[in-house]
Structure 1
């Protein structure tokens, strides 16, 4: 089980290089093909982004040669909002960056927000201003016994099996303190060769689920969150705005999420 076809969104931002290098390293680790999809809008070809936007294909192929990865380059259809034109249905995993409202006009509007829930494939979102660091060595699974959480865990299994440490985080009301679902998940992961620890946080009403997650011991050394413990409205709230500035400032590591 693994990722054989990975897709990364390309744009003229200064964050593009780190995103591409991460995608290439992941593709090399899984011996996968990497598709780079240019999602620049027409506005990206005017002003400071212009030269980078125009040279995306050239720089993408040059980076691929350094990593020794099989790649292909595609350009997203700019005249249609149809998500099928972003090539995401034909990939096992998508790599994108957290939206930056300050440059939203330079990237096609469906990327990555709308595609998060419509693409049908898992996505790794890199935080803004992220610079390459190891990803997937110490993973936290944000867990609840829900379909979204189960989907995220199963989609992330190729990464989970390679991790040095996996922790299952459970945010639950007091009445659920003795529920066995965390232990059931840990046993399921063990069947895949994943030895997981658990971190239970009792919901006393003082913190939201997202706040508790970032305050937990499990997050101290984490380099990737596998999300699915909360409804997608909560995930979108945390990733795309609607939370306090202090919480967004803490969001400094990649998130693996599925729909």
Structure 2
């Protein structure tokens, strides 16, 4: 199991280097081709961002070349919409940084939310001001028996298979007289050679899902969360409202998310 085609979004922000370093690390680990896509807006080439924005392609090609990767660099058409926008439909995995106010107007607004909604490709979303350090060694699955969470687990299998520790957090997990949902997930993971610890959390009404997740023992030394989109009424709210929105906007850990 591996990702053979990885895409990283590039821009003139100070988050760019850490994002590119993680993309290169992943591409090397999976012997993948790496595509860098410049998603800077026209405003990025004015003021304090301008020098960094102009060097995005040079920096990408230099680092990817030094790592010995097969790579290509693309620039998003900033004024038109079409089938090639963002080049995401031809990748196995996308890497982006969470939205932040400092980047507002200087990065095309579709990154990362709209792209994740429309691409059908899983994405690793890094926190703003994330520093380059190892990730994907201690991974926590934020689980619910839903199509979104199931998709995320399946998409994350290459990462889960290489992790040193995998934990499953389930908030008020369902069970009946014969089976427990969280145990059946662990049995499924085991068929892929992945042994997982479990932490079911009863819903006492005292903590929200996110509060319980970050209070749980499985988050000790965790370096990535795998999560799907939790269900609400409207499609956009399904992905970026409520629990999933809060998860993608926390500043602690990268999140691997699918929908």
Q: TM-score, normalised by structure 1?
A: 0.92
Say which SS state the counterpart of residue 72 (structure 1) adopts. Answer: strand
State the partner residue of 2:245: 237
CA distance in 2, matches of 1:219, 1:6: 27
State the partner residue of 1:196: 196
* 1:170-189 correspondence to structure 2 within 5 Å: 170-172=170-172, 176=175, 180-189=180-189
Report the CA distance between 1:230 and its aligned residue: 2.6
Q: 1:114-159, CA deviations, whole angstroms, 9 ceiling, x for partnerless residues? A: 1122110000000011011111100000001110011000000000
Change (3 A) 1:107 1:235: farther
Change (3 A) 1:238 1:82: farther
Conservation of the 8 A alpha-carbon contact between 1:83 and 1:118: no
After the TM superposition, which parts of structure 1 deviate over 4 Å for at least 4 consecutive aligned residues?
81-84, 175-179
Say which SS state the counterpart of residue 214 (structure 1) adopts. Answer: helix
Conservation of the 8 A alpha-carbon contact between 2:229 and 2:257: no
For structure 2, which runs of at least 5 residues remain unmatched after alignment? 232-238
For structure 1, which runs of at least 5 residues remain unmatched after alignment? 242-247
Change (3 A) 1:34 1:239: same
CA distance in 2, matches of 1:6, 1:70: 11
**How many aligned positions are there?**
250
State the partner residue of 1:244: none
RMSD: 1.7
Change (3 A) 1:42 1:236: farther
Conservation of the 8 A alpha-carbon contact between 1:140 and 1:168: yes
Conservation of the 8 A alpha-carbon contact between 1:6 and 1:27: yes
Say which SS state the counterpart of residue 198 (structure 1) adopts. Answer: strand
Change (3 A) 1:254 1:113: same
Range 3-12 or range 71-80, more displaced: 71-80
CA distance in 1, matches of 2:108, 2:92: 22
State the partner residue of 2:258: 258
CA distance in 1, matches of 2:23, 2:100: 20
State the partner residue of 1:13: 13
* 1:1-259 correspondence to structure 2 within 5 Å: 1-81=1-81, 84-172=84-172, 176=175, 180-228=180-228, 230-231=230-231, 232=239, 233-239=241-247, 248=250, 251-259=251-259
Say which SS state the counterpart of residue 221 (structure 2) adopts. Answer: coil
CA distance in 1, matches of 2:209, 2:217: 14
